[in-house]
Each structure stands twice: as structure tokens, then as C-alpha cells.
Amino acid sequence: MALESLVTQMRKGALEYCVLALLTQPRYGFEIVQRLGQIDGMLTSEGTIYPLLGRLRRDGLVDTDWRESPTGPPRRYYALTAEGRRNLRAFRNEWSTFRTAVDAILKSGATS
């Protein structure tokens, strides 16, 4: 059970930065959901993306603007701010250090 909750926490924490990574180009909400949906297990309840997007905007990590849609109602587009870009860069570094460290230990444990 502890493992299950750890995986939930890790996914939740990483999701925020995956969304930031998707927003290096402007995208609208449903498009973000579709992108994340292509990767199994990343987004369990699609609706929870909207509270997350709202918080990223409140924290100044993304900006929004409305654009016309060729098919239906106008779409709210999200894009990274300079601050969002900085946070994403910091996460990339931390993540690759963390992943390398854990991989190295898992591997050495298996061979010795």
C-alpha cells in the first residue's frame, strides 16, 4: 500500500512538470488532456487538469488567452511564462540527477 501511495504522489508531482513541458508551445485544455491521455497512467481523471492549470496560472507559470476555434466555442490557450520556463528547466536538471541516481543504485543492487 505504501508503494501505491508513493506512485500516486510521484505521478501527481511529475504531472505538473509534464504539463509545463507540453506548454512550451501554446495549447488549449482539451488538447493537453489528449496529449497526456496518449501516455498510459499519466492522467486518471481528466477533469483534475483544470484545477492544476488554474493554479499554474495563479502562480504565474503560465499565461492564458482566448482564441477562436474553427469548429466550436473559443478556446482558452495556455503557454509558459519566463518563470514557467525557469521552473521547467530546474525540474529537468533535478529529474535527470534523481533518475540517474536511483537507476545506478537499483542496478548495482541487482548485480552484487
Partner 1 sequence: MTAPHADQLIGQYVTRLEAALSSVAPARRSELVADVRNHIAEARSELAGETDADVLNILDRLGDPAEMAAAEMERTEPAAPGRKESRVLEIASIVLLLLFWPVGVILLWLSKTWTTRDKLIGTLVPPGGYLGALLLGAVLAYGAFSPMCRTITDSAGHVLSSSCPSDAAQTSFNVIAVLLALFYLVGPIFTTAYLVARLKKREAYPATPLGAASIIGA
Residues forming contacts to partner 1 in the complex (CB under 8 A) are 9-10, 13-14, 16-17, 29-30, 33, 44-48, 50-55, 58-61, 71-73, 75-76, 83, 87, 90-91, 93-95, 98
C-beta closer to partner 1: residue 45 or 108: 45
Q: How far is CA 38 from its chain centroid?
A: 13
Contact by Cβ (8 Å): 76, 28? yes
Minimum distance from residue 112 beta carbon to partner 1 (Å): 26
Q: How far is the CB of 25 from partner 1 (least distance, A)?
A: 18
Beta pairing partners, 92: none
d(CA 41, CA 52): 17
Minimum CB distance to partner 1, residue 92 (Å): 9
d(CA 23, CA 5): 27
